[in-house]
A and B are shown apart, each in its own frame.
Chain A
Amino acid sequence: DGGITQSPKYLFRKEGQNVTLSCEQNLNHDAMYWYRQDPGQGLRLIYYSQIVNDFQKGDIAEGYSVSREKKESFPLTVTSAQKNPTAFYLCASSGQGGETQYFGPGTRLLVL
């Protein structure tokens, strides 16, 4: 069953804590993306990766970090430097640039 998965569905962060959101795909896609979605706003790009071991900053990369050690995985770490992390985080993948992006189910991050 091909697709893109994200975990956990809900994540709680304490002040000063780093948390990592998981994203895995078995679509054999080269490109992967992380977006942040806030109420009433469009999706904003955090980071994207065109290929393994390579990634680029998006529009709102400050306070976030990523890695792309495997084709299937693109985890996102929300660091303590991100002062307003409460949001819905979406991971996506695509074959190449300009192709349809397939989205995961999302992770909702809340701050305690």
Chain B
Amino acid sequence: KNQVEQSPQSLIILEGKNCTLQCNYTVSPFSNLRWYKQDTGRGPVSLTIMTFSENTKSNGRYTATLDADTKQSSLHITASQLSDSASYICVVSLSGGSYIPTFGRGTSLIVHP
């Protein structure tokens, strides 16, 4: 069964600190992996997308990594800001143009001043 597991479930950090969120998946055959940011009460917004051949992708203070061999991804947030408080969702798509990606449950991040 295709699954995406995220850890930790929730995380609290102080403003200015770095943090790393984890995503493990069993989706196969793999096409791509996306990280989304979802602010409370809003729709998710795509942060990064990585295909099989990519192992690092940055978007400002967000850096995603992918190890396709171990089926693991991480999202590293540098110098956190209060606006980083949100849920971060890992989404994995099957190859072959599947319309049904597999969503993780998300990691809830709270950044305190």
Q: Do A and B come from one complex?
A: yes
B59 touches A (CB below 8 Å) = no
Which residues from 71 to 112 on chain A have a C-beta closer than 8 Å to any C-beta of chain B?
88, 90, 92, 94, 96-98, 100-106, 108
B45 partner residues in chain A, CB cutoff 8 A = 103
Who on chain B is nearest to A50 by CB? B99
A48 B43 Cβ-Cβ under 8 A: no
B42 to chain A minimum Cβ distance, whole angstroms, is 6
Who on chain A is nearest to B95 by CB? A98
Report the Cα distance A45→B34, complex, angstroms: 17
A38 to chain B minimum Cβ distance, whole angstroms, is 10
Report the Cα distance A63→B32, complex, angstroms: 32
A108 B43 Cβ-Cβ under 8 A: no
Who on chain A is nearest to B104 by CB? A42
Chain A residue total in the interface (Cβ 8 A): 26
Report the Cα distance A15→B30, complex, angstroms: 43
Who on chain B is nearest to A56 by CB? B99
A16 to chain B minimum Cβ distance, whole angstroms, is 28
A42-B105, A42-B106 are contacts. A98–B93 as well, Cβ < 8 Å? yes
CB-CB contacts of B15-45 with A at 8 A, as 1s and 0s? 0000000000000000110100000011111
A55 to chain B minimum Cβ distance, whole angstroms, is 11
B42 partner residues in chain A, CB cutoff 8 A = 105-106
A31-B99, A48-B99 are contacts. A106–B106 as well, Cβ < 8 Å? no
B95 partner residues in chain A, CB cutoff 8 A = 98
A100 B34 Cβ-Cβ under 8 A: yes
Report the Cα distance A39→B75, complex, angstroms: 22
Highest count of chain B CB atoms <10 Å: which of A50, A58, A101: A101
Residues of B within 8 A of A (CB): 4, 31-32, 34, 41-46, 49, 89, 93-101, 103-106
Residues of A within 8 A of B (CB): 6, 31, 33, 40-43, 45, 48, 50, 58, 88, 90, 92, 94, 96-98, 100-106, 108
